Amino acid sequence: MSIKKVLTTAFAVAAISSSISWGQTVTCSNGTSQKMGSAGGYDYELWSQNGAGSATMKLNVSDENGGAFEVEWQGTINMLARTGKRWGSNSSVTVQNVGNITSEFEVEWSSTDNVKYVSVYGWGYYDQADIPSGFSNEIEYYIVQDRGSYNPTQGGKKWGSAVIDGISYDFYTTDRIHQPSLSGTSTFKQYWSIPSNTSQHRTKGTISISKHFSEWAKAGMKMGKLYEVASMKIESYTGNTGTAKGYAKVKKNLLKIGGSADELALNVTASPAAAGTVTKSPSANYYAPKSTVQLTAKANEGWKFVGWEGGATGSTETVSVTMDKEKSVVAKFELVGETTVNLLKDGNFPSSSVISTSNGASSWFLGQGTNWGGSAAKTSVSGGTATVDVTTIGTETYQPQLVQYNVALDKGMKYKLTFKASADVAREIEVSFQQSVDPWGAYATKVFDITTTEKEYTYIFAMEKDSDDAAQFAFNLGQATGAVKISDVKLVFTTAEPGSEIVTDPIPSSSSATVPTSSATTETPASSSATIDTPASSGSMALGVQFEIAAGKNFQVFDMQGRFLGAIELANGASLKDALKAQFNKAGVYMLKQSNGRMFTTRVK
């Protein structure tokens, strides 16, 4: 194993590193149940119970990302893939003498299974005096970061709780009676650290592994020698049905062993995550007690920094924190206009390679076949347009579907989805944002009527549920067979209100409304009755409807394609023309929506 020294503050720690080339692959299938070995200083294992189905693990070990790997499985009973450090059964390494163990990780994953975990994992041993009566000296342990709907600690014994790395964990033991173990088959204990609330599940961050060992010991969950520490493990279980299916990409698994356990963790995040960045100086995850760290927040385009929360206060972009305890700091940002950065990957469909039927292999995934109600579809890409040809629909309207996983949605934020679409025959399609794991809870859904002529469609929604950094977005195409063409798919943050994208409703007539015979625009002060001219080409919008516009009212403003531009507030004595010109500084025809729902157009020269 090659070792390099990584300096963090005043402490030196050993980081497992490598020089192996990317792409080494191992497979369990056709009765082969286990593959173990070492790659670039990281020990790995791929295990599939009874060798059922197929599981393939691709090792992407590097100095920068540690024991990174990818794994894909289908038709398995119980599957696990992991990388880390294995000392073995004759090890003299203990939780007391190993030094400080930490892991930096980042994972993208998707699976149809209920019993599944992203976790730190390993085996250890009781000291002879601590072995529980009737149990072996073996301990199987988990530090769970993300999981499916199944809670593995149900029926277990709770020993305590603690906040580690800013997350509240509960500590449990469970009993495994005559189950597979290091020694073959035995009765042994399992140790668990599991987030107290599912809202604290995560797929990236820093894990202070030694702090869990320390807190377990304080709670009475003792452990002596270490067999291994798998700083990142993916596990999936369906029992004897053999219907497990999924994919995971461990983008980072940087295991560090050594240094001092007295170092204090400093976790910094931007909220929303896409709004900006936070840098630390000096840059590290752990700091010596009483050391000072400078934090700097930088807003991305369309956002402004508004202040610090948690372990720091104030509204200046740069602030210093003193590490007198472990801290979590949040840099808060506020949206100041519609953003331009697409939150979806490859929405312009640059090539056919961005769509795959292998989960996780590309930006877009075509869900069809057995696990999608027996549906059948195929895709092609040409000139930035993706064509999905549905030949068989499934049992549900989402079967088949074109999906993108790992879409981050922040609670309280508003989003605007735009896309162009057409079909060979007029039909419906559905767009949906939802959880990517069981129970697949919906965040936002809308059905669109698609015609044979390409049009742009818009959907604005608010994320009202807890933030989800791994949500899924899908075009659900199970309403009918036939070809659907999709292009220019874009998701951005917006200040527009949900429903404001609907701009084609005619203005209700009233006794005070008059239709002028000319097309001249009449612009009057806000306190008077204004005649608003609408060009004849505006479709269902009424021509020159006259009604009272009150000062102090807010208006939502759109262009003639229905795109939301912003909002204005009309002051006393001001005219719409002046207000629009001051706000947007551009001549043209604008569409406006009053708070009472009335909509009209006006021209600014």
Main-chain phi, psi angles of 320, to 5 degrees: -110, 140
- Which position has the token pair 């469970």? 174
pLDDT at 257: 87
pLDDT at 473: 96
Higher pLDDT, 467 or 22: 467
pLDDT at 50 over 80: yes
pLDDT at 556: 81
pLDDT at 383: 95
The CA-CA-CA angle for residues 284, 266, 315, to 5°, reads 110
Coil vs helix vs strand at 536: helix
Query: From CA 131, how far away is CA 444, in angstroms rounded?
Result: 51
pLDDT at 368: 92
pLDDT at 10: 26
Q: What residues are annotated to the active site? A: 140, 235
pLDDT at 588: 74
pLDDT at 291: 94
379 and 370 in contact (C-beta within 8 Å)? no
Beta-strand pair 101-111/204-208: antiparallel
pLDDT band at 174 (very low <50, low <70, confident <90, very high): very high
DSSP one-letter string for 174-242: EEEEEEEETTEEEEEEEEEEEESSGGG--SEEEEEHHHHHHHHHHHT----BBSEEEEEEEEEE-GGG-
Higher pLDDT, 123 or 592: 123
pLDDT band at 41 (very low <50, low <70, confident <90, very high): confident
pLDDT at 176 over 60: yes
**Average pLDDT of every residue of the chain:** 83
Query: From CA 242, how far away is CA 246, in angstroms rounded?
Result: 12
Token code pair at residue 109: 């994953």
Q: Considering only CA atoms, which of 304, 307, 302 is closest in space to residue 318? A: 307
7 and 32 in contact (C-beta within 8 Å)? no
pLDDT at 511 over 60: no
CA–CA distances in Å: residue 13 to residues 3, 239, 263, 264, 286: 10, 41, 12, 14, 11
Q: What b/e readout covers 268-296, taking b as 16+ CB neighbours within 10 angstroms?
A: bebbbebbbebebeeebbbbeeebebebe
The CA-CA-CA angle for residues 442, 593, 565, to 5°, reads 75
pLDDT at 129: 95
Mean pLDDT of 470-487: 94
CB-based contacts of 26: which residues, under 8 Å, 6+ apart? 35, 37, 44, 46, 56, 57, 59
pLDDT at 379 over 80: yes
- Between 22-31, 188-197, 314-323, the lowest mean confidence (pLDDT) is in 22-31
Q: How many CB atoms lie within 10 A of CB 305?
A: 20
pLDDT at 282 over 90: yes
Mean pLDDT of 248-274: 84
Q: Considering only CA atoms, which of 29, 72, 81 is closest in space to residue 52? A: 29
pLDDT band at 191 (very low <50, low <70, confident <90, very high): very high
**3-class SS string, 329-373:** EEEEEEECCCCCCCCCCCCCCCCHHHEECCCCCCCEEEECEHHHC
Mean pLDDT of 511-516: 32
Higher pLDDT, 103 or 263: 103
pLDDT at 507: 34
Mean pLDDT of 468-490: 93
Mean pLDDT of 11-31: 58
pLDDT at 441: 84
pLDDT band at 8 (very low <50, low <70, confident <90, very high): very low
Coil vs helix vs strand at 59: strand
pLDDT at 360: 66
pLDDT at 384: 96
Mean pLDDT of 292-306: 94
What are the pLDDT digits (tens) for 421-451? 999 999 999 999 998 866 788 999 999 999 9
pLDDT at 195 over 90: yes
Q: How many CB atoms lie within 10 A of CB 574?
A: 16
- Which position has the token pair 């994320």? 463
pLDDT-above-70 percentage for the chain: 84
193 and 212 in contact (C-beta within 8 Å)? yes
pLDDT band at 563 (very low <50, low <70, confident <90, very high): low
546 and 513 in contact (C-beta within 8 Å)? yes
Higher pLDDT, 23 or 394: 394
pLDDT at 294: 96
pLDDT at 547 over 60: no
- Between 181-195, 392-406, 503-517, the lowest mean confidence (pLDDT) is in 503-517
pLDDT at 560: 60
pLDDT band at 9 (very low <50, low <70, confident <90, very high): very low
Higher pLDDT, 264 or 109: 109
Beta-strand pair 355-356/364-367: parallel
Token code pair at residue 335: 């949206």
Main-chain phi, psi angles of 580, to 5 degrees: -65, -40
Beta-strand pair 138-147/184-195: parallel
pLDDT at 101 over 80: yes
pLDDT at 509 over 80: no
